[in-house]
Structure 1
Amino acid sequence: MSFVEIEYLNIHFLPPENEPCAIFRWRERNRYLPVWMSVDDALLIEAREADAAPRRPLTHDVLVETLTRLTSGVSEIRIVSYYEGVFIASIVLNDGEELDVRTSDALAVARIMGLPILADEEVLAQASIFIADGDVEGYLGFPPLSEAEAPAERRDTQADADFEQLMANMGVSEEDLLSADWDDLDDGFDTEDGPDSSER
């Protein structure tokens, strides 16, 4: 396996059903990796990002404490495989041991401990998508890479095809996107029925 570091951007709720996913950027190729997760997991990670301290330790806090006290320490997080929409992640210890975890749990540990997140290049080649700069800012809400940062080759045709396929997999049409009320996306926290989990 050949691993490359990916950049975690945010948890995003995509319309029209406000389905949550973690968005990662593969800077070397200017491609994006969406990892779908349950609403509960997404809200926990978002709360952590907002510095909302729990009154009592949560599962992720206990996991981090256990890793810190009872292991050789943690070096990085890896997304090691992808099959039929399911991502497999691992926590890599300083002694080389790997612990199999859900991707959402791995992300939470990475954010708490300040760890790098790496993904296997085969996973990125299979599951990442190219999104045109206008769509990155318009649909996902964060700025694209600057011209100086972006790779020399920009594949807008592939971007359109990848983004269209992503939306089709979610059952979202172009009409849905154009008619969506983007100002109401924050209301997605009231969603009761989360999507099928696509990570471990």
Structure 2
Amino acid sequence: MTVNLRDTTPTTTPTTTTTTTTTPTPTELRRALAAYPTGVIAVCARIGDDPVGMAVNSFTSISLEPPLVAISVARTSTTWPLLSGRRLGISVLSVDQEALCRQLSSRVADRFAGAEWQARDGGSVLISGAALWLECEARSVFDGGDHEIVVMEVLGAQSFPDVDPLVFHQSRFHVIHGVH
């Protein structure tokens, strides 16, 4: 692009409004961030003969080379210390798995009651009926305030393109129907 500095043609300048606000409270920030839709994943591993897992909606792709993803886990989680350091299964939950998502987010004794799952040789647990499966291992953990940011290497992936993902937006679950 070339700019002619001698051009005297008037231009329209966009108006910018600056608003000064105070730092939001955690409740205000949670409410504000609810405007951003996210997927919902199950992060699971086998401990002994039993599956252990939790639902997470702070999940993102980090890098294709090397293949990296990240999750953010509350420091108050009682499940994460059980999963940390293990090979993990990440299942992108489907529209049919809202009840399972709520179960995985709860404090019930058997979070996997009624769920179909499979354990892999490395100990990861994957949820049947999900839109995507990833097998991962943690590579780095970073301080994220009241959360830990866990960067994981993707060791395996299997996609199910005919399965619609579950979406969390405005503190409610929603469905995005794909084109199949």
Q: TM-score band, normalised by the shorter chain?
A: under 0.3
Query: Where is the helix percentage greater, Structure 1 or Structure 2?
Result: 1
TM-score normalised by the chain length of structure 1: 0.25
Higher relative contact order (CA 8 A, sep 6+): 1
Which of the pair has more CA radius of gyration?
A: 2
